[in-house]
Amino acid sequence: MTNVSIIVLDFGSQYTQLIARRLREDQIYCEILPYHTKVEDIKAKNPKGVILSGGPSSVYNKDAYEVDQGVYEMGIPVLGICYGMQRIAVDFGGSVIRSDHHEYGKAELNINNYETNASKLFADCDNERIVWMSHSDRVDEIPAGFEVIATSANSPFAAIANEEKNVYAMQFHPEVQHSEEGYLMLRNFAKKICGVDEKWKMEHFLKEQIRIIKEKVGDGKVLCGLSGGVDSSVVAAMLYEAIGDQLIPVFVDNGLLRKGEREQVEQIFKVNLKAPLVVADAADLFLGRLAGISDPEQKRKIIGHTFIEVFEQEAKKHDGIKFLAQGTLYPDVIESISVNGPSEVIKSHHNVGGLPDWMDFELIEPLRELFKDEVRKIGLELGLPESMINRHPFPGPGLAIRIMGDVNQADLDLLREADVIMLDELKASGYYTRTWQAFTVLLNVKSVGVMGDNRTYDNTVCVRVVEAVDGMTATFAHLPHDLLERISRRIINEVDGINRVVYDISSKPPATIEWE
């Protein structure tokens, strides 16, 4: 088993996954567990420290989220962030009240005893750095045995500590990029307070997962669903490394792919993985079931269920298949189900949520706890080419969620042509490798235009290009105007039926990356 250095208990903060990211970037392995995890289950992972995340609730509510009190008696350090701080304050006998002055956004942190004896939590940190606050409650009275270790203009208890019990708490969010040196504070907690000294590397994770896969699969066979994207390709490569010919890779042509996608996948797989690829032509089945469906969630659910059915049909053609492998990532899990805490469901993903009761397969999801950039590192460890590893993400539901409204063949063809032009221009300009994800969306909104002195009433497409690290947050890419102009001009001139191109300048949050 991978040694878990830090456990993060999730109380539902939108930033919880960033805590894990910051620690992993420092080669400190951590796992996120639900806030209500029993102390026995936490002890079983033998962590060196526990972090209580932020969350949307209030500790003084009747149904407030609580932590197993045994966590404080494990003899290992505990750090509370925002709601986690308020939880610690109440659990140790302090009090929390509704704040008269809400603090949202940037605040200047003043570290107590900075020149003489600052807390280990702030070792090597500069004083008066900017941190990110996001709270409407505040600690009104700190518990006995605790002392103030940092303040801000509106937070006299911006950070507190009980050094004897090794319990620390901060009102701000060190995990977000807006908090200057927040990453250093998390590192200090893990290394200087918890004593974490081992380094977690992707090659360690890879070796462990290969061992787990071998042990779990035994002499059985694994059906692996391939999309041609990074995630499923890395899963297939891991499985092939672990079990060789026991792997049956299946690529489903669902009719919702980009232009030339099927041919590209077949070629990439043939050259790089050297395993026989099964191609299931199911375009008519998918499009038939999507006919007349315009609700985004319905589309996603139909596609997810149909994928499973197609895989089951393929499995019946082979003896000994006991497992289904998928390229599920942690951001998929976070957005789809409140798996770790009371976080909000954003949208369902076709590869999240387990299998229907009527299926006999066991799921294998070796990337389920990883972020996209970590998966790319795994791919490079496996020897996959950079051209495959650095491909932009492509959603499992494909172009179905890039067409607003119902999905039909004519709209798919229109969108494919616009999309390939946009990608060609992005690659030619060098911006493809400098951005996280780029695509076009068919809005199914028609507008008046003039082409060759004639009035047109045609479709509008939206170009969406974002910059991100892991897809959990994203900002729109500031593309040069001449590049946007070339993309627009070519799409309008070369794709019949489109007379207007717009550019999406929203970030995530509040928007999501995909439109549906």
Q: What residue ranges of the chain are covered by domains with CATH 3.40.50.880?
A: 6-193
- Tell me whether residue 411 is annotated as binding: no
Angstrom distances, CA of residue 407 to CA of 203, 255, 286: 42, 10, 10
Q: What mean pLDDT is predicted for residues 151-161?
A: 90
Which of 160, 21, 20 is CA-nearest to residue 79?
160
Which of 461, 479, 467 is CA-nearest to residue 515?
461
**What are the b/e assignments for 176-213, b being 16+ CB within 10 Å?**
beebbbbbbbbbbbbbebbebeeebebeebbeebbeeb
| Top CATH class, 408-503 | alpha beta
Q: What mean pLDDT is predicted for residues 71-83?
A: 96
Cα angle, residue 198 at apex, residues 15 and 24 outer, rounded to 5°: 20
Query: Against a cut of 0.95, is the pTM above it?
Result: no
Q: How confident is the model at residue 453 (pLDDT cuts 50, 70, 90)?
A: low
CB 268 within 8 A of CB 240: no
Q: What residue ranges of the chain are covered by domains with CATH 3.30.300.10?
A: 408-503
- Tell me whether residue 227 is annotated as binding: yes
Strands 147-151 and 30-34, by their bridges, are: unpaired
Structure tokens belonging to residue 4: 């878990």
Candidate list 30, 103, 125, 173, residue with the active-site label: 173
Candidate list 30, 82, 194, 224, residue with the active-site label: 82
Candidate list 30, 125, 135, 175, residue with the active-site label: 175
Q: What residue ranges of the chain are covered by domains with CATH 3.40.50.620?
A: 202-389
Q: What is the pLDDT of residues 34-70, one digit of tens each?
A: 999 999 999 999 999 999 999 888 888 888 899 999 9
Q: What mean pLDDT is predicted for residues 60-81?
A: 94
392 labelled catalytic: no
CB 460 within 8 A of CB 494: no
- Tell me whether residue 231 is annotated as binding: yes
175 labelled catalytic: yes
Please tell me the least confidently modeled range out of 181-195, 244-258, 346-360.
Answer: 346-360
Structure tokens belonging to residue 151: 């303040």
173 labelled catalytic: yes
| Top CATH class, 6-193 | alpha beta
pLDDT score of 349 more than 70: no
- Tell me whether residue 229 is annotated as binding: yes
Total count of residues recorded for the chain: 516
Which of 269, 497, 508 is CA-nearest to residue 388?
269
Q: How confident is the model at residue 353 (pLDDT cuts 50, 70, 90)?
A: very low
Q: How many CB atoms lie within 10 A of CB 270?
A: 12
How much is the mean pLDDT over the chain?
Answer: 88
Task: Give dist(CA 397, CA 279) in Å, integer.
Answer: 17
- Tell me whether residue 232 is annotated as binding: yes
Cβ-Cβ contacts under 8 Å for 100 (sequence gap 6 or more): none
Superfamily of segment(s) 202-389: HUPs (3.40.50.620)
Cβ-Cβ contacts under 8 Å for 206 (sequence gap 6 or more): 238, 378, 381, 382
Residue 257 sits at φ, ψ, to 5 deg, of -90, 165
